[in-house]
């Protein structure tokens, strides 16, 4: 007998509805799955066989053919396991489904338990858009599935549960217009672990971000960080090891404002697809990703058979922190150009192409030279010219995308004593949030880092004397041609931090401190 059920699979960041047709026919016992499935789909045979046997059902010794339709969509992952298992039971007439059309999503274990799958959220959303009224989902994915409104979510833990649900006569409620709805914003303090923002390979969710008050000194770098975060500017910190570059970067999650509704939804979908563990609600904290410098090209950019999102996508509307920037492979650094330019990344593989969002803010840190001690008296063991070449590894296009540059130096012990009391993260975060609100309120609502060059001139609202000061700075050889726009961009952010409508001379003067080092060739010549 033929059984037809609905399930879903994932293509890049989008869910696709698939029809699971199971035909249990007389003949030589066998189990075939057709329909552009990958290795994990073929392995579903073994999982389903075990799950049925160990749940008290019979895996029928007959000719079983499973077709996943439509045939042109490549299917990956284990999301159709449950539908296949239930399809076999219906096809072999082990029970009769009485409930109306329901879709099933979930991976089965050999013991018959049902586990959640990456991308549950976009899959449920796709089913909702198709008008499905009832979805059976793994219990541990219930919270995630419930982010989608307009359809009934039925959590189940075992294959037996799923059969019981389908057997009952209870029908799904009246159909509602389906939409992905936003869960209420969790109040501060009751944020769940997963929405806590720090979700990175290095910086595990369990560790709360360090507070800026814990960072001693480095006022220059702290200010650079504040300016960069306020305007979404790329930031590069250069300094010897132990000067606090990584520590400063790790304070970022505590400094960024919460995501907007739209960003929040996108971030949650990316988190869901990336399989970062159970999602308890919409992710409100901007992502902070800190991949290690040995990460592969595919890990950073995305790819693989299932077009899995890479770090640039996982950092979408958040921060991508590249510690030891110069140690990343050249391919990886070059691949950052497109996302930095367009805010998205296009991955083309044999299995298809996908364009994924990648509007991340780049924060990077590097040592000044391979040994790390350039500029420190008698400590650098690098050969002549090596330090210059080291930072020179950052290619021109990437340099152009970094608006804020700052050098950190080891502090002298005697200077530590007189140090000013550092500000706490909450104080700085409030200023950043305010500056961002000002930028979002403008037409287009873009952060200064992503405003076009022409729009920038208008936003700067330079008075004639300020324009003259800008020209003076350029004439003093503090700026290159391209540097002028960069200076104006950063000055706009400083003015926003200052709640100033126009960019004033003082903002330009501060912005000049954040320009890349060594723009004066003559001074950079002496090695």
Binding span for another protein by CB under 8 A among 142-150, 228-236, 328-336, 514-522: 514-522
Q: How far apart, in whole angstroms, are the C-alpha atoms of residue 239 and residue 379? A: 13
By CB under 8 A, residue 422 contacts another protein: no
Q: How far apart, in whole angstroms, are the C-alpha atoms of residue 298 and residue 304? A: 7
* Helix/strand/coil for 87: helix
Q: How far apart, in whole angstroms, are the C-alpha atoms of residue 304 and residue 205? A: 26
Among 187, 350, 420, 441, binds another protein (CB under 8 A): 420
CB 489 within 8 A of CB 231: yes
By CB under 8 A, residue 377 contacts another protein: yes
Task: Tell me the closest approach of the beta carbon of residue 417 to another protein, in angstroms.
Answer: 8
CA distances from 516 to 239, 312, 401, 487, 526 (A): 14, 24, 11, 10, 17
The kind and range of the H/E element at 148 are strand 148-149
By CB under 8 A, residue 527 contacts another protein: yes
Task: Tell me the closest approach of the beta carbon of residue 475 to another protein, in angstroms.
Answer: 9
Q: How far apart, in whole angstroms, are the C-alpha atoms of residue 31 and residue 33? A: 7
DSSP class of residue 150 equals S
By CB under 8 A, residue 427 contacts another protein: no
Residue 175 vs 523, nearer CB to another protein? 523
Concatenating the DSSP letter of every residue in 4-44 gives EEEEEEEETTEEEEEEEEEEEESSS-EEEEESSB-HHHHTH
Q: Which residues contact 149 (CB under 8 A, 6 or more apart)?
A: 128, 176, 178, 179, 180, 181
By CB under 8 A, residue 523 contacts another protein: yes
Binding span for another protein by CB under 8 A among 57-65, 70-78, 412-420, 431-439: 412-420
Binding span for another protein by CB under 8 A among 21-29, 109-117, 194-202, 374-382: 374-382
> How do 107-108 and 152-156 pair as beta strands?
unpaired
Residue 37 vs 422, nearer CB to another protein? 422
What's phi and psi for 351, nearest 5 deg?
A: -85, 0
By CB under 8 A, residue 517 contacts another protein: yes
Among 140, 181, 327, 509, binds another protein (CB under 8 A): 509
Residue 129 vs 513, nearer CB to another protein? 513
By CB under 8 A, residue 488 contacts another protein: no
Task: Tell me the closest approach of the beta carbon of residue 220 to another protein, in angstroms.
Answer: 4
Among 406, 488, 491, 495, binds another protein (CB under 8 A): 406
Among 169, 330, 412, 454, binds another protein (CB under 8 A): 412
Task: Tell me the closest approach of the beta carbon of residue 437 to another protein, in angstroms.
Answer: 21
Q: How far apart, in whole angstroms, are the C-alpha atoms of residue 288 and residue 50? A: 40
Among 388, 400, 434, 485, binds another protein (CB under 8 A): 388
Q: Number of helices (H) and strands (E), helices first, in the chain? A: 22, 20
Among 4, 407, 467, 500, binds another protein (CB under 8 A): 407
Task: Tell me the closest approach of the beta carbon of residue 418 to another protein, in angstroms.
Answer: 4
Binding span for another protein by CB under 8 A among 108-116, 252-260, 441-449, 517-525: 517-525
By CB under 8 A, residue 392 contacts another protein: no
Among 27, 385, 392, 444, binds another protein (CB under 8 A): 385
Residue 278 vs 517, nearer CB to another protein? 517
Tell me which residues in 199-258 interact with another protein (CB under 8 A). 217-220, 223, 238-239
Size of the site for another protein (CB under 8 A): 42
User: In the stretch 461-480, what mask flags binding to another protein with x, by CB under 8 A?
Assistant: -----------xx--x-x--
Cis peptide before 70 (omega within 30 of 0): yes
Q: Which residues contact 121 (CB under 8 A, 6 or more apart)?
A: 144, 145, 147, 148, 268, 269, 272, 279
By C-alpha distance, which of 225, 229, 231, 223 is closest to 450? 231
CB 121 within 8 A of CB 139: no
Residues forming the site for another protein (CB under 8 A):
217-220, 223, 238-239, 368, 374-375, 377-378, 384-385, 388, 406-409, 411-412, 415, 418-420, 472-473, 476, 478, 506, 509-510, 512-513, 517, 520-523, 525-527
């Amino acid at each position: 007998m033929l059984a037809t059920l609905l399930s879903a699979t994932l293509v890049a960041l989008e869910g696709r509805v698939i029809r699971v047709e199971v035909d249990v026919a007389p003949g030589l016992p066998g189990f075939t799955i057709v329909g552009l499935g990958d290795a994990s789909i073929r392995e579903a045979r073994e999982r389903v066989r075990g799950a049925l046997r160990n749940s008290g059902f019979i895996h029928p010794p007959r000719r079983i053919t499973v077709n996943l339709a439509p045939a042109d969509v490549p299917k990956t992952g284990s999301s159709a396991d449950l539908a296949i298992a239930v399809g076999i039971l219906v096809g072999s007439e082990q029970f009769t489904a009485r409930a109306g059309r329901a879709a099933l999503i979930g991976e089965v274990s050999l013991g018959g338990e049902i586990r959640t799958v990456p991308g549950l959220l976009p899959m449920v959303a796709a089913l909702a858009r198709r008008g499905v009224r009832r979805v059976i989902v793994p219990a541990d994915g219930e919270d995630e599935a419930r982010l989608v409104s307009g359809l009934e979510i039925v959590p189940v833990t075992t294959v037996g549960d799923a059969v019981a649900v389908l057997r009952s006569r209870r029908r799904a409620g009246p159909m509602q217009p389906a939409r992905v709805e936003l869960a209420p914003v969790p109040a501060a303090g009751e944020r769940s672990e997963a929405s806590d923002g720090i979700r990175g390979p290095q910086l595990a969710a369990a560790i709360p971000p360090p507070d800026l008050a814990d960072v001693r000194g480095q006022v220059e770098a702290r200010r650079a960080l504040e300016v960069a975060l306020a305007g979404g500017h790329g930031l590069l910190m250069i300094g010897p090891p132990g000067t606090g570059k990584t520590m400063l970067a790790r304070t970022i999650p505590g400094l960024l404002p919460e995501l907007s509704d739209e960003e929040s939804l996108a971030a949650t979908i990316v988190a869901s697809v990336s399989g970062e563990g159970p999602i308890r609600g919409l992710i409100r904290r901007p992502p902070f990703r800190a991949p290690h410098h040995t990460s592969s090209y595919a890990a950073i950019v995305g790819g693989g058979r299932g077009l899995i999102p890479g770090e640039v996508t996982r950092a979408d509307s958040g921060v991508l922190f590249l510690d030891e920037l110069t140690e990343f492979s050249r391919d990886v650094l070059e691949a950052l150009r497109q996302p930095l330019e367009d805010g998205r990344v296009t991955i083309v593989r044999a299995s298809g192409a996908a364009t994924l969002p990648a509007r991340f803010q780049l924060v990077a840190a590097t040592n000044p030279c391979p040994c790390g001690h350039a500029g420190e008296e008698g400590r650098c063991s690098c050969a002549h010219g090596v330090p210059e070449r080291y930072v020179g590894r950052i290619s021109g296009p990437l340099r152009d995308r970094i608006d804020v540059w700052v050098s950190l130096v080891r502090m002298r012990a005697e200077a530590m004593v007189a140090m000013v009391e550092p500000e706490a993260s909450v104080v700085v975060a409030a200023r950043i949030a305010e500056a961002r609100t000002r930028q979002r309120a403008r037409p287009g609502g873009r952060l200064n880092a992503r405003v076009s060059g022409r729009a920038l001139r208008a936003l700067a609202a330079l008075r004639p004397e300020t324009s003259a000061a800008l020209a003076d700075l350029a004439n003093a050889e503090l700026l290159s041609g391209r540097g002028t726009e960069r200076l104006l961009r950063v000055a706009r952010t400083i003015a926003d931090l200052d709640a100033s409508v126009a960019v004033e001379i003082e903002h330009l003067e501060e912005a000049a401190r954040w320009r890349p080092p060594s723009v004066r060739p003559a001074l950079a010549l002496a090695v």
